[in-house]
Amino acid sequence: MTDELTGRTAFVTGAARGIGLAIATALARRGAGVAMVDIDLTALARAAQSIGDRALAVEADVSRAGDVGRAIELTTERFGGLDILVNNAGICPLSDFADITEAEWDRVLAINLKGAFLCCQAALPHLRKSGRRGRIVNVASVAGQMGGVSVGAHYVASKAGLIGLTKSLARLLAADGVTVNCVAPGATATDLTADWPETTQAQVKAHIPLGRFARAEEIAEAVCFLVSDRAAFVTGATLDVNGGLYLR
Ligand SMILES: NC(=O)c1ccc[n+]([C@@H]2O[C@H](COP(=O)([O-])OP(=O)(O)OC[C@H]3O[C@@H](n4cnc5c(N)ncnc54)[C@H](O)[C@@H]3O)[C@@H](O)[C@H]2O)c1
């Protein structure tokens, strides 16, 4: 394992489990200090402990501006700055379109899309200071690119919106040297998909040319590339990690 991120600080949302935990672990292994943000304090404490000294557990709801501001403050107090923001927290109800209530629509958009906006805005002054090392990676979804096989329309809309936010910020922050990219995972083996009915899992798997769900670590690898110096000239991009589910 390289130490290419030594001296850098990352802020990873939804880091208590699944893809977020895999990302936090991979960044810490490469030398970064990692603020791990989640609403589930019990799982978060366990997750941070699994990483050790380089991790800071921060309880916050990304859909609340106050929580996000405080989390960024705690992070910069502890590590002295912030170079890498990974917007990963997300929820994915499988609701049929006709059954989506206004409250559920608002909740999905508030976490998956507004949460990323709030984190980007609060992190911005620190990322600008970081300059050419500054990185934002948004964890979108193949569903935001192709409509999704079984997931709700609110989820699809939130992830398509996240891809749009990525492009908008990529243009805005290019002059500062800060890059902004997306990773678009296909179906990945985490608690999120483990909750799906078996028929849904089988239906999705049948559409994946590589014939399996991704491992969370495979999504983390893509994030590690995008935050590294090797990706300094990549911005506004969406990196597909989907086993061939969506080919463009
Ligand atoms: N698993 C998949 O198949 C898949 C596919 C494509 C995209 N994604 C995306 O990847 C991201 C991570 O997915 P996962 O499979 O690891 O999910 P997961 O459900 O296993 O983990 C999500 C984490 O986010 C946290 N979280 C939820 N709401 C939050 C909030 N308001 N504030 C802070 N934290 C919050 C949860 O507590 C949980 O720890 C999500 O954005 C998801 O949409 C997942």
Atom 43 of ligand 1, residue of closest alpha carbon: 90
Mean pLDDT, all residues of the chain: 97
As a whole number of angstroms, the distance between CA 104 and CA 35 comes to 28
Q: Would you say the CB of residue 192 lies under 6 angstroms from ligand 1?
A: yes
Radius of gyration of the chain (CA): 17
pTM of the model: 0.98
Q: Is the CB of 208 under 6 A from ligand 1?
A: no
pLDDT of residue 1: 65
Domains of the chain: 9-241 (3.40.50.720)
Residue 117 CA, ligand 1 centroid: distance in Å: 16
Alpha-helical regions (H) of the chain: 18-29, 41-51, 65-79, 102-109, 115-130, 142-146, 153-173, 191-194, 198-206, 216-227
pLDDT in tens, 49-104: 999 999 999 999 999 999 999 999 999 999 999 999 999 999 999 999 999 999 99
Strand partners, 139: 183
- Check residue 131 and give its pLDDT: 84
Asked if residue 149 has pLDDT above 80, the reply is no
Q: Which residues pair with 136 in a beta bridge?
A: 85, 180
Encoded amino acid at 105, one letter? W
144 C-alpha to center of ligand 1: Å?
A: 15
> Is residue 144 in contact with ligand 1, taking CB distance under 6 Å?
no
Alpha carbon of 175 to ligand 1 centroid (Å): 31
Of 67, 192, 238, 242, the one to substitute when testing ligand 1's pocket (max ligand atoms within 8 A of C-beta) is: 192
What residue owns the CA closest to ligand 1's atom 2? 188
Q: What's residue 2's pLDDT?
A: 79
Q: Which atom of ligand 1 lies closest to the CA of 213?
A: 3
Centre of ligand 1 to C-alpha 91, Å, is: 5
User: Does residue 135 register a pLDDT over 70?
Assistant: yes
* CA dihedral over 184, 189, 192, 196, signed as positive or negative: positive
Residue 38 beta carbon below 6 angstroms from any ligand 1 atom: yes
Q: Which residues contact 113 (CB under 8 A, 6 or more apart)?
A: 158, 161, 162, 165
Model pLDDT for residues 186-212, shown as the tens digit of each residue: 999 999 999 999 999 999 999 999 999
- Which neighbouring-strand residues pair with 179? 135
* C-alpha separations of 242 from 14, 185, 187, 191, 218 in Å: 20, 5, 7, 18, 10
pLDDT band for position 117 (cuts 50, 70, 90) = very high
